[in-house]
């Protein structure tokens, strides 16, 4: 196979909502290019891109899939991305390594929530975008409504390059405004007849041509000058103008097709081969040192691995982009993330599950390596002289969490290994073995996301698992100052144990001054800080430990033991056994014995004194609060807001966004357990949301009472 130079490479993400027909379009493109001789179908479970067992089982895409083909002396690298927002990680990875987004629109639905979500990522990454309206042969298709919904959402940047002739069963062709031709398909014909635009379509075609001409000219001063002088541009000049407009995101061309019947797909492929930018035309990506790395085939080699899968009979399959230089089979490279050496023994060009041996890839190209020893998603490999490290892919926060365990405890270790491997395949699966909650927590983008994980573990790894409601990582703190003292004394023959600690606890906030005098029960306690340690706790918040000992009442060598005892108690608060935080502890007095005092004595004395003082300091439970942003069609706004308020949400604000409302709220994590499912039900699947940890806040008194009762009941069950 030919080795392609950077200016001959087109890297394109194939996006669109679920049901828009991306996988079917991929089949049509692979058929047109000659990679496959017969097109598969979703129903037949034999498509090139949806080849994983879980995809065949559910009938929808789960993974992003690379498919490449040669077309018009260009190498076309497409990444077919899952449409469901639950699998957005694949689309984000794809957009980071491609140079244009082809957004498929369902001609029966127009702009959908998936369109909006994926468009938002193209906007964040400043990727050129082209809309392709599909399903025009469907009986419910409505091109005009679809085009209007695109214009309503994205404004005058949306420019029609084609429009259909007929719709549904009467869809027979398209008028191509750029080509100034009509393409018409006869029943059963693979190729269209290329005709002059008929008289009845001429007025509309001329109107759209003028709009397209002006849009193309606006993006280049030379073209604009020629347009003003002569009133016309050549087709090639218009393509140049369209390309510049797409690259600056000042225009989004709209094309038409029926992927299922392979109508107009050929024309879209031709346009992309000519107009989609090559990697060297786009802004160079930055390495971790914020240095530009241009796709120069003569530079030192750097590969970035953006995706990993594990396939039966093959093992690990690693997908990479050549960021600079070139790579050949047998090259030895260094892993910048892990410090290991790696030999690339086998390189392939992929079309879904079809892989063809390829000896060399040059800068800008996308390829596949198999059976690498120590390479994971997000890793960078460099040749000698290359010192790049890439970490530019940023994934969204998880939105759905469940505790997971093996139904048979004997499979616990095997499950842990499986989860670790699967996280490498999809970085949006977050796995946490929580010492605090005594659970393994799996977080993802939604219920379907975790449902897919469960199917794969049970059907491929043969481990029966259970998803259960995860515990909430509550925190405990105090709301007033308190003091306590405790004497630990033990005599059992020989050396004994003795340690006495007097301390004060109070709630702590950043920058809070320390009083010189505390008053308890009418008595003043003067303190003076001799030494202060501010400890950032692993679980959030702080512990401030103040040594206010005077007169040598406790030897300084015992203070670390006192602190250790306090830390032990903070790891298991008295209310619910949760971590404690944001406490200042002042050790101001105590006693020791010249023979019997030791570290264990002061550790126990410190722990028990702290425990008693904490209980008397009006302790409260804190709960994690998340910032939640919901994007919802206007007609569902009332229901969604009512549902959030029933979840103890605090509404922070609302704003309109072209037919959608953006609702911002602060919501307790406890109330977000099944929110993705509820929101989908309330909005008919048309709303979406994001959530991100914000802070810990006091729970309401009725919720605290309930939590205390639940904890007491749990402790009683354990004792029984």
DSSP string of 248-301? TTS-EEEEE-BTTTTBSHHHHHHHHHHHSPPGGGSPPPB-TTS-B----TTSPP
Q: Is 684 left (phi over 0), alpha (psi -120 to 50) or beta?
A: left
Q: What 8-state DSSP symbol labels residue 81?
A: P
Strand partners of residue 265: none
Q: Tens digit of pLDDT for each residue in 369-378?
A: 998 999 999 9
Flag whether pLDDT at 720 surpasses 80.
no
Question: 718 and 651 in contact (C-beta within 8 Å)?
Answer: no
Question: What does the pLDDT look like over 32-47, one tens digit per residue?
Answer: 999 999 999 888 889 9
Average of per-residue pLDDT across 4-8: 97
pLDDT grade, residue 187 (50/70/90)?
Answer: confident
Provide the percentage of residues in the chain whose pLDDT is more than 90: 76
The CA distances from residue 130 to 20, 30, 97, 229, in Å, are 15, 20, 17, 29
Q: Which pLDDT band holds residue 718 (cuts at 50, 70, 90)?
A: low
In terms of DSSP H, where are the helices of 556-636? 559-570, 599-615
Q: Which CATH class is domain 476-612?
A: alpha beta
pLDDT (0 to 100) of residue 657? 74
Q: What is the pLDDT of residue 298?
A: 95
Mean pLDDT of 54-79: 91
Architecture per CATH, domain 302-382, reads as: Beta Barrel (2.40)
| Cα–Cα distance measured from residue 257 to residue 26, given in angstroms and rounded to the nearest whole number | 13
User: What's the whole-number mean pLDDT along residues 189-194?
Assistant: 87
Q: Which helix or strand (DSSP H or E) is residue 121 part of?
A: helix 113-124
In this prediction, residue 603 carries a pLDDT of 97
Residue 351: pLDDT band (50, 70, 90) is very high
Q: How far apart are CA 41 and CA 457, in angstroms?
A: 26
Nearest to 423 by CA among 391, 456, 448: 456
Q: How far apart are CA 345 and CA 347, in angstroms?
A: 7
pLDDT per residue over 226-255, tens digit each? 988 888 899 999 999 999 999 999 999 999
**Residues facing residue 10 across a β-bridge:** 76
- The second-level CATH assignment, the architecture, of 400-471 is 2-Layer Sandwich (3.30)
Residue 453 is encoded by which pair of tokens? 């994980």
> DSSP assignment of 445-510, as one string?
SSHHHHHHHHHHHHHTS---EEEEPPPP--EEEESS-EEEEEEEEE-SSSS-EEEEEEEEEEE--T
Give the pLDDT confidence of 400-420 residue by residue, as tens digits.
999 999 999 999 999 999 998
The tens digit of pLDDT for each residue in 156-184 reads 999 999 999 988 888 999 999 999 999 99
CA distance 302 to 290: 15
Write b or e for each residue in 119-148: b if 16 or more Cβ atoms lie within 10 A of its Cβ, otherwise e. Answer: bebbeebebbbbbbbbbbbbeebbbeebbe
The pLDDT value recorded for residue 427 is 87
Q: Cα–Cα distance between 415 and 423 in angstroms, integer?
A: 12
| Whole-angstrom distance, CA of residue 131 vs CA of residue 115 | 10
Q: What is the mean pLDDT of the chain?
A: 92
Rounded mean pLDDT, 601-627: 96
User: Residue 634: its pLDDT value, please?
Assistant: 87
CATH fold group of domain 6-281: Rossmann fold (3.40.50)
Element (H or E) spanning 667, and its range?
Answer: strand 660-668
Higher pLDDT, 99 or 550: 99
Mean pLDDT of 505-523: 94
Fold (topology level) of 621-703: Alpha-Beta Plaits (3.30.70)
Looking at residue 476, what is its pLDDT?
95
**Whole-number pLDDT of residue 38:** 92
Give Cβ neighbours of residue 540 (< 8 Å, ≥ 6 apart): 475, 579, 581, 696
| DSSP-based three-state secondary structure for 37 | coil
HEC string of 394-456? CCCCCCEEEEEEECCHHHHHHHHHHHHHHHHHCCCCEEEEECCCCEEEEEECCHHHHHHHHHH
What was the pLDDT predicted at 162? 97
* 427-458 residue pLDDT tens: 899 999 998 899 999 999 988 899 989 998 99
**Listed residue (133, 100, 55, 45) closest to 246, CA to CA:** 100
CA distance linking residue 720 with residue 710, whole number of Å: 15
What 3-state DSSP class applies to 349? strand
Number of Cβ atoms within 10 Å of the Cβ of 432: 14
Q: Where are the domains of the chain?
A: 6-281, 302-382, 400-471, 476-612, 621-703
Cβ–Cβ < 8 Å for 106, 115: no
Residue 719 binned pLDDT confidence (cut-offs 50, 70, 90): low
Nearest residue to 627 (alpha-carbon basis) of 396, 432, 426: 396
From the list 356, 282, 354, 372, the residue with the least C-alpha distance to 323 is 282
Report residue 26: phi and psi, to 5°: -60, -40
Q: 54 φ, ψ to 5°? A: -65, -30
**Would the pLDDT of 658 be above 70?**
no
Inter-residue contact 477 to 620 (CB < 8 Å): yes
C-alpha distance across the termini of the chain, in Å:
72
Query: 82 pLDDT exceeds 60?
Result: yes
pLDDT band at 365 (very low <50, low <70, confident <90, very high): very high
Distances in Å between the Cα of 69 and the Cα atoms of 264, 272, 362, 585 are: 18, 13, 16, 67
Give buried/exposed letters for 657-671 (b at 16+ CB in 10 A, else e).
eeebbebebbbbbbb
User: Which pLDDT does position 712 carry in this prediction?
Assistant: 84
Domains 6-281 and 621-703 share a fold: no
Is pLDDT of 135 > 60? yes
Section 128-140 average pLDDT: 95
Out of 32-36, 64-68, 273-277, 677-681, which region has the weakest mean confidence (pLDDT)?
Answer: 677-681
The answer to whether the beta carbons of residues 554 and 590 sit under 8 Å apart is: yes
Q: How many CA atoms lie within 13 A of 460 on its CB side?
A: 19
């Amino acid at each position: 196979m030919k080795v392609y130079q950077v200016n001959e490479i087109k890297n394109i993400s194939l996006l669109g909502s679920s049901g828009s027909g991306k996988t079917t379009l991929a089949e049509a493109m692979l058929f047109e290019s000659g990679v496959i001789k017969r097109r598969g179908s979703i129903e037949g479970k034999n498509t090139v891109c949806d080849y994983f067992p879980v995809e065949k089982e559910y009938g929808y895409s789960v993974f992003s899939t690379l498919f490449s083909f040669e077309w018009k002396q260009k190498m076309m690298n497409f990444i077919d991305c899952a449409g469901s927002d639950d699998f957005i990680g694949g689309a984000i990875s794809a957009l980071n390594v491609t140079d244009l987004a082809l957004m498929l629109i369902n001609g029966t639905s127009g702009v959908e929530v998936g369109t909006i979500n994926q468009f938002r990522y193209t906007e964040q990454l400043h990727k050129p975008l082209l809309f392709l309206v599909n399903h025009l042969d469907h009986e419910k298709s409505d091109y005009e409504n679809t085009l209007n919904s695109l214009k309503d959402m994205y404004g005058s940047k949306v420019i029609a390059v084609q429009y259909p002739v007929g719709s549904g069963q009467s869809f027979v062709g398209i008028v191509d405004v750029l080509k100034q031709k009509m393409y018409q398909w006869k029943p059963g014909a693979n190729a269209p007849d290329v005709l002059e635009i008929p008289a009845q379509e001429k007025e509309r075609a001329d109107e759209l041509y003028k709009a397209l001409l002006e849009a193309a000219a606006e993006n280049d001063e030379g073209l604009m000058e020629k347009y003003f002088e002569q009133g016309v541009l050549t087709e090639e000049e218009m393509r140049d103008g369209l390309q510049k407009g797409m690259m600056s995101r000042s225009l989004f061309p709209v094309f038409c097709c029926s992927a299922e019947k392979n109508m107009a797909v050929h024309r879209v492929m031709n346009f992309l081969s000519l107009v989609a930018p090559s990697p060297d035309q786009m802004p160079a990506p930055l390495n971790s040192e914020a240095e530009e790395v241009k796709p120069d085939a003569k530079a030192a080699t750097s590969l970035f691995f953006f995706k990993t899968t594990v396939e039966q009979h093959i093992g690990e399959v690693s997908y990479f982009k050549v960021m600079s230089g070139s790579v050949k089979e047998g090259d030895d490279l260094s892993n910048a993330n892990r410090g290991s050496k790696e030999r690339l023994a086998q390189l392939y060009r992929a079309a879904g599950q079809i892989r063809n041996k390829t000896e060399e890839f040059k800068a800008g190209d996308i390829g596949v390596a198999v059976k690498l020893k120590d390479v994971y998603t997000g890793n960078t490999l460099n040749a000698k002289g290359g010192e790049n490290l890439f970490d530019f892919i940023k994934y969204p926060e998880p939105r759905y969490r469940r505790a997971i365990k093996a139904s048979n405890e004997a499979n616990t270790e095997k499950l842990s290994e499986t989860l670790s491997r699967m996280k490498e395949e999809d970085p949006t699966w977050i796995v946490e073995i929580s010492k605090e909650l005594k659970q393994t927590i799996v977080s993802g983008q939604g219920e379907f996301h975790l449902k897919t994980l469960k199917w794969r573990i049970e059907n491929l790894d043969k481990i029966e698992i259970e998803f259960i409601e995860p515990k909430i990582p509550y925190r405990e703190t105090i709301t007033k100052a308190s003091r306590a003292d405790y004497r630990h004394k033990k005599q059992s023959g020989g050396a004994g144990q003795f340690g006495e600690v007097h301390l004060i606890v109070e709630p702590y906030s950043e920058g809070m001054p320390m009083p010189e005098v505390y008053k308890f029960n009418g008595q003043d306690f003067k303190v003076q800080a001799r030494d202060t340690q501010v400890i950032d706790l692993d679980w959030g918040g702080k512990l401030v430990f103040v040594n206010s000992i005077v007169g040598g009442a406790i030897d300084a060598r015992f203070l670390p033991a006192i602190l250790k005892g306090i830390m032990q108690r903070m790891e298991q608060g008295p209310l619910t056994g949760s971590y404690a935080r944001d406490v200042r502890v002042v050790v101001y007095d105590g006693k020791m014995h010249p023979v019997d005092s030791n570290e264990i004595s002061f550790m126990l004395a410190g722990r028990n004194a702290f425990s008693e003082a904490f209980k008397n300091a009006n302790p409260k439970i804190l709960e994690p609060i998340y910032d939640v942003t919901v994007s919802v069609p206007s007609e569902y706004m009332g229901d969604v807001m009512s549902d959030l308020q029933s979840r103890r949400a605090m509404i922070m604000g609302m704003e309109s966004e072209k037919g959608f409302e953006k609702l911002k709220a602060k919501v307790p994590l406890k109330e977000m357990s099944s929110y993705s499912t509820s929101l989908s039900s309330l909005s008919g699947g048309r709303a979406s949301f994001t959530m991100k940890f914000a802070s810990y806040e006091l729970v309401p008194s009725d919720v605290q009472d309930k939590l205390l009762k639940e904890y007491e009941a749990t402790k009683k069950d354990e004792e029984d």
